[in-house]
Structure 1
Amino acid sequence: MNKPIVAVTADTLLADMKPINQRMADYAPRPLLDSLGKAGLLPIILAYDTYADPEEFVETFDALVLPGGPNPSPRFYGEEPLWCIGPTYEKRDIFEIGLIRACLKMGKPILGICRGLQILNVALGGTLWQDMPTQNPKAFIQHMQKAPGQVATHYVEIEKGSRLHDILGDGLYVNSRHREGIKKLAPSLKETAHARDGVIEAVESRDNELITAVQWHPENMDDAVMAPFFRAFADRIIRMK
């Protein structure tokens, strides 16, 4: 049987910032590609293209993965950018929002990781805290951890009855590298995990099995802990093909 093809949206590395000769390289995180491959999937890197219809891309793959990256632009959820937020990349935002809507229309599964959870929420009508340390007084946990990125630093509690609970149980310690977070949850999503300060750490689609997204980086965590998460995603793709 052919392996399911999963498209991983690319980020862009500014390899040379000289004013005249600016080279740009599209890439996706190697640990994420490795995790998908170990789960029996065939990952391809999908560079943004604002000139084509997203549905043309969606016809070429079986599922979509939205990885981490820069903050989604606040204009996509109706806000002005605060001084304290980091870089944004509107071309990627536009591309991913179009892909999300096309995948849902065509019934193809989506996995969101960190920024991927955030852009899913935005695409479906939710909003974000642009900068939790200054905007959300309840967020007392260090969500932009100072420990190395692969180290699990804070606990998340997983909702019973969710698909995530079936995979990971009642909860676990996760890594955490984000300043933004979900403020208003999109109507078509439901919360499936939260940190002990109430910050939403995982969501899935309310009325079907198409969306799973987490705020942490499972591709950087111990395989023994997170391999079942990626295998469950692969199984879901195969079941829904």
Structure 2
Amino acid sequence: MTIKIGIASNHMIHPTQTLDTNYFDYIQKDYVDAIRKAGGLPVVLPLGDPSDAEDYIELVDGLLLAGGQGLSPVLYDTEPIREMAESDIYRDRFEIALVKAAVKAHKPILGICRGEQVINVALGGTLYQDIYVQMGATEKHNQLPTSWEIPTQHVTTTADSFLDKLMGHRFLVNTFHHQAIHDLGKGLTAVAESDDHVIEAIESDDGNVFAVQFHPERMFRTTPAFISIFDHLIERAH
């Protein structure tokens, strides 16, 4: 049986030098490659209306939510601070609907970076719009211009969590974010954090929803252990 994993797409909504106003839906190729490497069949889901979410989830066995823009704080009843960068309410609402539909259908969800934040907000949680201003983070959580595939920051996992079992108690990850989880959503537990206490992974009580703040899809080729996170999604989807 081939396991089909829906990957929610982003959409280009700004003119570019080469494409002008030829807008399009897209997903970064590493997400597709990681699902294939783990033995799944990637199915890219074009951004749609939230009312389409249940129909999309019926087509797949599991869901992957990728990185991208920050979530709009209006979705967790907060006003934007001046450090708030670009958000996309259309993508936000659609992906939140996908999470709710997948939870309702008891299908596994893996969130990556923004995807972790989407899951948290979909389940009633809140975010720090900027971890430096609002929580006093002291580490460099956006490693650019250092290359994406190079791990630069340690995280420490909770014993017996999915990430502890897959990757061990303490290991290096890459990092590209300035938002992070504040209040956890319903049924979610923080299962990894950075040394300055930013939440780096979460897991649901039933183990069917899990997410990381870092980007394993950018590291699995040079650090093969990270493919285990995608293997875990495929195993949960069986």
Whether the TM-score (by the shorter chain) exceeds 0.5 is yes
- Percent identical among aligned pairs is 36
AA in 2 matched with 1:231 = D
Q: Does 2:224 match 1:210? A: no
Using the TM superposition, name which of 4-13 and 221-230 deviates more: 221-230
**1:140-179 equivalences in 2 (<5 Å):** 140-146=138-144, 147-179=146-178
Q: Does 2:42 match 1:35? A: no
CA drift of 1:71 comes to: 0.3
1:228 is matched with: 228
CA drift of 1:188 comes to: 1.0
**Aligned-pair Cα RMSD in Å:** 1.5
Quote the Cα distance in structure 2 between the aligned partners of 1:232 and 1:110. Answer: 10
SS of the equivalent of 1:157 reads strand
- What residue ranges of structure 1 are gaps of 5+ in the alignment? none
CA offsets per residue over residues 105-150 of structure 1, 9 Å max, x none? 110000000000001101111111101111112x111111132222
CA drift of 1:95 comes to: 0.4
SS of the equivalent of 1:213 reads strand
Quote the Cα distance in structure 1 between the aligned partners of 2:93 and 2:13. Answer: 19
- What residue ranges of structure 2 are gaps of 5+ in the alignment? none
Quote the Cα distance in structure 1 between the aligned partners of 2:217 and 2:36. Answer: 11
Quote the Cα distance in structure 2 between the aligned partners of 1:121 and 1:78. Answer: 14
Quote the Cα distance in structure 1 between the aligned partners of 2:71 and 2:97. Answer: 14
Quote the Cα distance in structure 2 between the aligned partners of 1:52 and 1:24. Answer: 22
1:127 is matched with: 126
CA drift of 1:62 comes to: 0.5
CA drift of 1:51 comes to: 6.4
1:92 is matched with: 91
Quote the Cα distance in structure 1 between the aligned partners of 2:225 and 2:141. Answer: 20
Quote the Cα distance in structure 2 between the aligned partners of 1:52 and 1:74. Answer: 21
SS of the equivalent of 1:119 reads helix
CA offsets per residue over residues 162-213 of structure 1, 9 Å max, x none? 121111111210000000011111131001100011110000102x121010
SS of the equivalent of 2:59 reads coil
SS of the equivalent of 1:193 reads strand
TM-score by length of 1: 0.92
